[in-house]
Amino acid sequence: MFDNSTMTRKLVSIQEAAKFLGVAAQTLRRWEREGKLQADERTPGGMRRYDLARLRPELFHSDVQSRKTIAYARVSSHDQKDVLERQTQVLELYCAKQGWTFEVIADFGSGVNYNKKGLKRLLDEIIEGKVGRLVIAHQDRLLRFGAELVFAICQAKDVEVLILNKGEDTTFEEDVANDVLEIITVLSARLYGNRSHKNRKLLDGVKQAVEATSCL
């Protein structure tokens, strides 16, 4: 005699189960260690399989829902305030449409500057477990180099990351010019000292080159 409930079961992978519950796969592994949710089966290779019918989101609310959503916006300089406003408006509109309660962090500074006030505040809150969701317009808005490290921290802290635009950043050329200038500024200061004539001459030459390039 066959058990109809067994015949109609739909077993899904840990990734599919996590997506259904609105959490990261790592969260399901943690719940298993804590005894909250066990896989229904294991494949011969040890892969977890979950019965979709038994996965009830209302019983396994991720604390993503109880933690804050942060929309992070950044531009390189105060001259780009209008760009920052548009970027912020896009993030606010998206979050509002999802029905989320959210907070916006608007930051100024180069994409290679890791000491930006807003970025430091964002990382502090993620590490402290206060953030459940991070929304950014483009990956480069977070950092030009090193965004993957921030994403890894988010994954470790069960923070959902949403990138609205995965195409080319429209401010790419201007931002790269500013980033290059900042890198050279730091290196020049270390080589020649902040107030040396060589340092000033080098920076003036770089600025002229950057301005000439941006006019092309």
- The HSE-up count of residue 162 (CA atoms within 13 Å, CB side) is 15
Q: How far apart (Å, rounded) are the C-alpha atoms in residues 32 and 34? A: 5
Q: Which of 76, 77, 188, 196 is catalytic?
A: 76
Phi and psi dihedrals of 9, rounded to 5? Answer: -65, 140
To the query of whether residue 76 is one of the catalytic residues in this protein, the response is yes
What sign does the dihedral 195-198-202-207 (CA atoms) show? positive
8 Å CB contact between 168 and 103? no
For 65, 116, 167, the CA distances from 174, given in Å and listed in that order, are: 37, 18, 17
Alpha helices in 10-130 (DSSP H): 14-21, 25-33, 81-98, 117-127
Enzyme catalytic residues: 76
